[in-house]
Amino acid sequence: MAKTKKQQKMKELEAELRSLIDENNAIEVEKVDRYLNLVGIFYELDKSIKKEGVMVLTKNASQTFLKENPAVTSKTKVNASLIKLDSFFDKKREELVAKQAKSNDIDEDDFV
């Protein structure tokens, strides 16, 4: 079965995030899993908002009124969680770049 674009993007995201972490560190592996789960939830909420709209019609006894789709608030909360986890991965990216830069440094003793 062929993968959808979204499934492919999720696999690529997972590979990128896993390349940044120590796979033997359970906490870091959990952060990747949590991030991927939140991204999945984010897209599901997006689908709900696209289907139902930003405002939904609510019926309460004899009243009918529009109110904000609860998925909008949930999506905002999920986004905030993703941003917090992003800071962890940004730090890991910086560490990786610093490590790569250090490994590219030329040691004059190598030429003696």
Other beta carbons within 10 angstroms of residue 76's beta carbon come to 10
pLDDT level of residue 12 (50, 70, 90 thresholds): very high
Element (H, E) at 67: strand 63-68
Characterize 8-47 residue by residue with b for buried, 16 or more Cβ atoms within 10 angstroms of its Cβ, and e for exposed. eebeeeeeebeebbeeeeeebeebbeebbebbebeeebee
Mean pLDDT on 7-25: 95
Mean pLDDT on 10-30: 96
Q: List Cβ neighbours of 93 (8 Å cut-off, separation of 6 or more).
A: 20
Model confidence, pTM: 0.81
Q: List Cβ neighbours of 45 (8 Å cut-off, separation of 6 or more).
A: 71, 74, 75, 78
Please tell me the predicted confidence (pLDDT) of residue 101. Answer: 82
pLDDT at 110 over 70: no
